Amino acid sequence: MKHVMLLAGAGQIGMAIARRMGAGMKIVVGDKKLENAKNIAAILTNTGFDTEAMEMDLSSWASIQHFIAEGQKYGPVTMLVNAAGVSPSQAPVKTILKVDLYGTAVLLEEVGKIIAPGGVGVTISSQSGHRMPALLPQVDEQLACTPADELLDLDVLQLQNIKDTLHAYQLAKRCNEKRVMAEAVKWGERGARINSISPGIIVTPLAIDEFNGPRGDFYKNMFAKCPAGRPGTADEVANVAELLMSRAGAFITGADFLVDGGATASYFYGPLKPQEN
């Protein structure tokens, strides 16, 4: 029996975190594309980690439950890394809400029921959640506390109230942050902690595709005009995850950490501030 890390989403950020925190553990890698999960698992295995790859669809409650049950076969689940999701240019509004918002809520809720005492979790949100104007307090509470299977029925998430895929993504990421706060209370009853990280532009194969795509100039302008003057790396996100998931972060739970090179600061108070018409 080993302590188990559930790694949802077979990408560069999730793998970077797993490399920091997964030594000596059983790492179960789940991704909607089994090939992606196998590729990440192989890289980790070839550098000394103990991994298992499986198909896991974040938009499916049954698939999430299967993912958790598979992890439990190897021992107590003591770590969750949720790095799964889709971006505004990858999917339509309904898919973004089903995966990034609903799926993340289900995963945090279900893992929270079985996480071992002393366990920790981190979910990858986005700077986008910080760009949207404040919501009404009652809407924030709905996003935080509504049972996951009822979330998509909320008025604020109906298609007629959502402008485009970016708006849907912002709502999903705002929901992730609020959800982490509410789940931290429940996880705390089991002696466990959960936090979120909101990265800005991080260089990954997906990001490089975005740089070369129709929104490429937008992204390049964003990192050029942020205080850091560059995009970030997956390892820089993992630096924060290592703090949050280690004993050094034992007093941190229910929090969101913005790791964006200052892009959000620039958006509100600097050269990235939208020009008013």
Please give the positions annotated as active site: 169, 173
Within 13 Å and on the Cβ side, how many CA atoms surround 90?
Answer: 13
Nearest one of 142, 148, 247, 131 to 193, comparing CA atoms:
247
CA dihedral sign of residues 146, 78, 184, 252: negative
CB 20 within 8 A of CB 238: yes
- The sign of the torsion formed by the CA atoms of 161, 82, 17, 32 equals negative
Place of tokens 């935080």: 144
CA dist 74 and 228 (Å) reads: 42
Q: How many angstroms separate the CA atoms of 153 and 155, rounded?
A: 6
Query: Are the C-beta atoms of residues 99 and 84 closer than 8 Å to each other?
Result: yes
